[in-house]
Structure 1
Amino acid sequence: MPRLSPPTTIAGKPVNPIGYGMMNLTAYGTVSHSDAIKSLRAAINSGANFWNGGLFYGPPDANSLILLKDYFTKYPEDAPKVVLSIKGAYNAVTHTPECNPESIRAAVDEALRLLDGTHPIDLFECARIDPTVPVENMVKTLVELIKEGKIGSYGLSEVNAQTIRRAHAAHPPAGVEIELSLFSRHALEKGGIIDTCHELGIPIIGYSVLDRGWLTGQLKTLDDLPKDDIRRHFPRFRPGAFEQNVKLAEFVEGIAGRKGVTPAQMAIAWVKQQGVLPIPGAVKASRVEENSKEIELTDTELAELQQALDKYQVVGLRYPEAFVARLDQ
């Protein structure tokens, strides 16, 4: 397997090999504002300077943008260090993308209003592809916003290779965000998403690199998930699937233990090896620091991981069935 390196720049700005996903800080209302601030501080102090937030990551009065404004107001010296990606143009109530010109412009204007001049939008992504809007039309609106100085660049999220090529022909995107982990490897199909991005020179950003906690080493039985944990609605955590999927997680944990690293660090290193910038989304500052520590995998370790992937089939879709139609579009 060839060794690839993650992107070193996005939107024309330098990024370190591991970034930070902000969704869990605000999406579920389970993290205090002060703890969220501490986690962001831990991220930048650990070198994780590519931050990925969203307008729909939490309610309008407590989403990523609210948190970011408060953070950069408190630590203005950190603003020049951060490369900021924001997702929007998505209706969180109906779970539908809204990528017509009016909706995209409204999303960008709202993001700028909430940031209130504390940080520019370096990369803006429509969170999903709107089936009612040709991707070329979506890109046209985003390019207009770039020319107007409202966003620095645009990116794509949850797209397939064909959509990437269509968007690139209209105007090259500054990044493509995909789900990638040892559990979710669909983007690695020959001639698929990752091959296409590498061919076209598009930086790739990987989210859910720990597969919603599977690759942290903390999940052994279903009882490890609280009864009200949202992950119980995800197919890979349901009875039957859980018992099968824990086998791969435990195998990764075993390799990590022999290396003297955590399973999370092992999983993040594997994503980097694919030429992808991972954006793990831990909520505790200590976990952010752990995830941001860079390690390198040996050829032997990579071979062991591949043997495990060949042996243990992952059971269950990566999202609940109701969301599948919006993926890989």
Structure 2
Amino acid sequence: MPQLVGREIGPIGYGLMGLTWRAHPPSEEQSFEAMKAALAAGSNFWNGGELYGPPDANSLQLLNKYFTKYPEDADKVVLSIKGGLDKNMHPDGSPEGVKRTIENCVKLLDGKKKIDIFEYARVDKNVPIEETLKNLEQYVKAGKIGGIGLSEVSAATIERAAKVTKIAAVEVELSLWSTDILSNGVAKAAAAHNIPIVAYSPIGRGFLTGEIKKPEDIPEGDMRKTMPRFQGANFEKNLDLVKELDKVAKQKGCTSAQLAISWVKYMSSEIGVPVIPIPGATKQERVAENSKDVTLTSDDAAEIRSVLQSITISGQRYGEAGMAHAEG
């Protein structure tokens, strides 16, 4: 099994979607049921963030409540938290910014659970990454966080970061419609420094499940409404990939979501370091589906590769403002 910060984790992790980027978050009870189901399935790597949800009801507060109710689960979970954005959602990697975000995250958890990995959600282009990491390292030494991760970074940033401190993980988008890290040097740089990869949105923010058949299926207020891949002609063109992958999934006797997650896990063998997908889920039945082990053979991988080579994804991962803060 993969290891992060010296602890074993299951083959997949979970993005804490109870209170993240959702227009209509589930109830606390439903969220807890999904979290319990994740642990029962062996998925003990949980990924949340200071930026997920409103200030008075974000994922850290959800975690606080969960571990207050189930204190026995705290030591079972490897917790990764993203932060580092100011009130305008801009990265702030200054010493003051590091102090604010770490202290706020620790305060919100209120001792119920330690942050095993802390990562800046985006790189502050106005502050050298070396400075930000050196300040974060002080919190590792003080025992307030267990380790440091990177998020949405370029290969060059990974190389710079690895010279400053030990990097516990690199979180990047990786899925059957977001394969950029395989060609832009990010996966290669992570492998060169033996840094595990945490793959967010492994089912393409739900698109690869095949359950989103038209733009109207996305709720109003959902951030996907702002993403180019989910809009107009891009949406229609990208359905070609979903249809082809559905054929492969049916041949394997699994769901499209299971195929997508299994492909991300399979990338571990090709990249050379553990790749841990972190699908989001709000229902325990979805957790059960995502957690089902589907083993891909080299022939399966070759067939999927052929599909990917035959289809060009239309639209950027984020809108213009979002891409401005993404290095990859």
> Which residue in the other structure is 2:235 paired with?
242
2:18–2:31 Cα contact (<8 Å) kept: no
The reply on whether 1:162 has 2:161 as its aligned counterpart is no
- The 5 A counterparts of 1:186-225 are 186-189=180-183, 192-225=185-218
Q: Secondary structure at the match of 2:195?
A: coil
Match of 1:138 among 97, 114, 132: 132
1:86–1:123 Cα contact (<8 Å) kept: yes
> Which residue in the other structure is 1:307 paired with?
306
Q: Secondary structure at the match of 2:65?
A: helix
2:190–2:196 Cα contact (<8 Å) kept: yes
Q: Secondary structure at the match of 2:143?
A: coil
Q: Secondary structure at the match of 1:306?
A: helix
2:17–2:281 Cα contact (<8 Å) kept: no
Match of 2:95 among 98, 101, 116: 101
The reply on whether 1:152 has 2:146 as its aligned counterpart is yes
The reply on whether 1:273 has 2:266 as its aligned counterpart is yes
1:55–1:63 Cα contact (<8 Å) kept: yes
Sequence identity percentage: 46
1:69 Cα deviation after fit: 0.8
- Residue segments in structure 2 that go unaligned for 5+ positions in a row: 269-274
Match of 1:51 among 46, 49, 59: 46
- The 5 A counterparts of 1:32-43 are 32-43=27-38
Q: Deviations over 1:74-126 (max 9, x none)?
A: 111111110000111112x4221011111111111111111111111100001
The reply on whether 1:83 has 2:82 as its aligned counterpart is no
1:182 Cα deviation after fit: 0.5
Q: Deviations over 1:228-264 (max 9, x none)?
A: 4431211011110111100101111111112111101
Question: What is the identity, as a one-letter code, of the residue corresponding to 1:249?
Answer: V
Q: Deviations over 1:214-240 (max 9, x none)?
A: 111202223333344431211011110
The reply on whether 1:259 has 2:258 as its aligned counterpart is no
- Residue segments in structure 1 that go unaligned for 5+ positions in a row: 1-6
Question: What is the identity, as a one-letter code, of the residue corresponding to 1:61?
Answer: D
2:21–2:222 Cα contact (<8 Å) kept: no
The two structures have a TM-score, normalised by structure 1, of: 0.94
The two structures have a TM-score, normalised by structure 2, of: 0.94
Which piece of structure 1 moves more, 24-33 or 238-247?
24-33
Whole-angstrom distance in 2 between the partners of 1:58 and 1:214:
22
Q: How many equivalent pairs are there?
A: 321
Which piece of structure 1 moves more, 103-112 or 77-86?
103-112
2:199–2:277 Cα contact (<8 Å) kept: yes
Q: Secondary structure at the match of 1:59?
A: coil
Whole-angstrom distance in 1 between the partners of 2:183 and 2:217:
33
1:156 Cα deviation after fit: 0.3
Moved over 4 A (4+): none
Q: Deviations over 1:156-201 (max 9, x none)?
A: 00000110010000112111000000000110016x0111111111
Question: What is the identity, as a one-letter code, of the residue corresponding to 2:258?
Answer: Q
Q: Secondary structure at the match of 2:167?
A: coil
1:97–1:127 Cα contact (<8 Å) kept: yes
- The 5 A counterparts of 1:283-298 are 283-298=282-297
Whole-angstrom distance in 2 between the partners of 1:247 and 1:202:
34
Q: Secondary structure at the match of 2:112?
A: coil
Q: What do you get for the CA RMSD once the two structures are aligned?
A: 1.4
